[in-house]
Amino acid sequence: MNIIMLGAPGSGKGTQATRIADVYNIPHISTGDIFRENIKNGTELGKRAQEYMDKGELVPDEFVCDLVIDRIHHDDCANGYVLDGFPRTIPQAEIFDKAIANAGEKIDVALLMELEDEILIERMEGRRVCAKCGAGYHVKNMPSKVEGICDECGGELIIRKDDNIETFKNRLVEYNEKTAPLVPYYEKQGLVKKIDGKKGLEPCWADITGILDSLK
């Protein structure tokens, strides 16, 4: 089963992709991982990737696509794969579609984790983590018993640096501009299945397995 995950940052698509990979025994492929692997293994693609990075140049869509195509033709993708964070733009999707069509392959489903921006922002703003033991909380959805104090160890609950709300909002704007147009793009191909992200992790997972099992 060849799966594409769609959804905004913070929508939970990465978590669901990891679980799909585990349960359906197919690799979870993210472009960041492929970059690192190729560079680490000193492949031809890795050398090219390193050059772009050294020069500080934007990596061309064709090259990102080459990396992904190379990755999905590894033996462990014989039964399929789940792509997470690729394609990121319409041009990438077009190049990718052409390449897999040439290889006689296709995407089976594009799973869209649907969540409104306001909810994504609220989720992000409320996230807290224990400075001492790393336990995760949310001021509204998963509060600690005593405000600001970890239930597990009594440590102080803080906002992670990565959870900077302005950075997150910028990522969301970029997603809406560049990546969200992939939804109508794949809808035209009849590939999009929508998951209501508001339902929470487990109900979403049940929907996903229902969809994937029906495609087998």
Residue 153 binds Zn ion, judged by CB under 5 A: yes
Site for Zn ion in 129-148 (CB under 5 A): 130, 132-133, 135
Nearest distance from residue 25's CB to Zn ion, in Å? 34
Tokens of 200: 């929470």
Angle, in degrees to the nearest 10, between helices 13-24 and 201-215 = 50
Nearest distance from residue 146's CB to Zn ion, in Å? 12
Tell me, rounded to whole angstroms, the distance of Cα 158 from its chain centroid: 25
Q: Which of 36, 106, 140, 160 is catalytic?
A: 160
Nearest distance from residue 129's CB to Zn ion, in Å? 9
Residue nearer to Zn ion on the CB measure, 53 or 153: 153
How far apart are the C-alpha atoms of 158 and 75, rounded to whole Å? Answer: 43
Nearest in space to 144 (alpha carbons), one of 163, 161, 126: 126
Backbone torsions φ then ψ of 136, nearest 5 degrees: -100, 145
Asked if 7 and 175 count as a contact pair (C-beta separation under 8 A), the reply is: no
| 160 counts as catalytic | yes
Nearest distance from residue 149's CB to Zn ion, in Å? 9
Strand order in the sheet with 136-138: 136-138, 127-130, 157-158
Residue nearer to Zn ion on the CB measure, 133 or 173: 133
How far apart are the C-alpha atoms of 155 and 149, rounded to whole Å? Answer: 6
| 171 counts as catalytic | yes
Q: Which of 19, 48, 88, 194 is catalytic?
A: 88
DSSP H helices, the chain, are 13-24, 31-40, 44-55, 61-72, 90-102, 117-125, 165-174, 182-188, 201-215
Residue 156 binds Zn ion, judged by CB under 5 A: no
| 128 counts as catalytic | no
Per-residue mark of binding to Zn ion, 59-98 (x: CB under 5 A): ----------------------------------------
Nearest distance from residue 154's CB to Zn ion, in Å? 7
Among 77, 155, 163, 180, binds Zn ion (CB under 5 A): 155
Active site residues: 13, 88, 127, 160, 171
Contact residues toward Zn ion (CB under 5 A) are: 130, 132-133, 135, 150, 152-153, 155
